[in-house]
Amino acid sequence: MSTLEIRNLQVSVNTDDGMVEILKGVDLTIKSGETHAIMGPNGSGKSTLAYSIAGHPKYTITGGSVTLDGADVLEMSVDERAKAGLFLAMQYPVEVPGVSVSNFLRTAATALRGEAPKLRTWVGEVKDAMEALNMDPAFATRNVNEGFSGGEKKRHEIMQLELLKPKMAILDETDSGLDVDALRIVSEGVNRAKAANNLGVILITHYTRILRYIQPDFVHVFANGRVVEQGGPELAEKLEANGYADYVSK
């Protein structure tokens, strides 16, 4: 069992007008096997939470703490956070020219496992993961995300999730830009990873459609840099019916 604890997290970002506070004291606890949906209007701080936990240099931590199994995440470098068991699936996955998907995945797995996976076994793992996500095997030889469609990029993110087996996954608007079929396939991949590895999941989304496939245990509403309401799956249905208007002024 692993636990990700976020306590009174305060985060600012540097803009042309100076430092602007985005997160104003966020408290969350995510345990292995739990799925936490983070919902809220644009600009409420959802993605800032994701990238701050992952260590993006754009964001400045001004207060609070983040720990994974008692270890101080904020003192870790980005690669140390990944090795500790944190995984971020980005809303807009970046292209990595000159690095094939196969080499990228094997290098990442080697860094996490401390030794290179046996080639024959690894080829089988990658093949099985690609088949499960309905990905063309030819993608293994292509450069990371280069020329991929939005849906293909998201499937590749979930393939990483299944192969690298982190303790905690932060999925930043993974449903963005997906058609109905791709949404179902990607969601099934998240569910497989969670079941196989007792994964803890932070699922950031605007909409409830992905929650029909990935059932949340907890729903947290973000507004103005804070968690303003928490509940179970029924809270997502309330948001679907009423929107975020009641929270914007909080």
Least confident of 60-69, 121-130, 161-170, 223-232: 121-130
pLDDT higher at 249 or 153: 153
Q: Where are the alpha helices (DSSP H) in the chain?
A: 46-54, 78-84, 101-113, 119-132, 150-164, 180-197, 233-242, 245-248
pTM: 0.92
**CA quadruple 113, 118, 121, 127: dihedral, nearest 10:** 80
Percent above pLDDT 90 for the chain: 68
Average pLDDT over residues 193-216: 94
- 244 versus 220: which is more confidently predicted? 220
Give the HSE-up count for residue 18: Cα atoms under 13 Å, Cβ half-sphere: 0
Half-sphere exposure of 90 (CA within 13 A, CB side): 12
pLDDT band for position 15 (50/70/90)?
A: confident
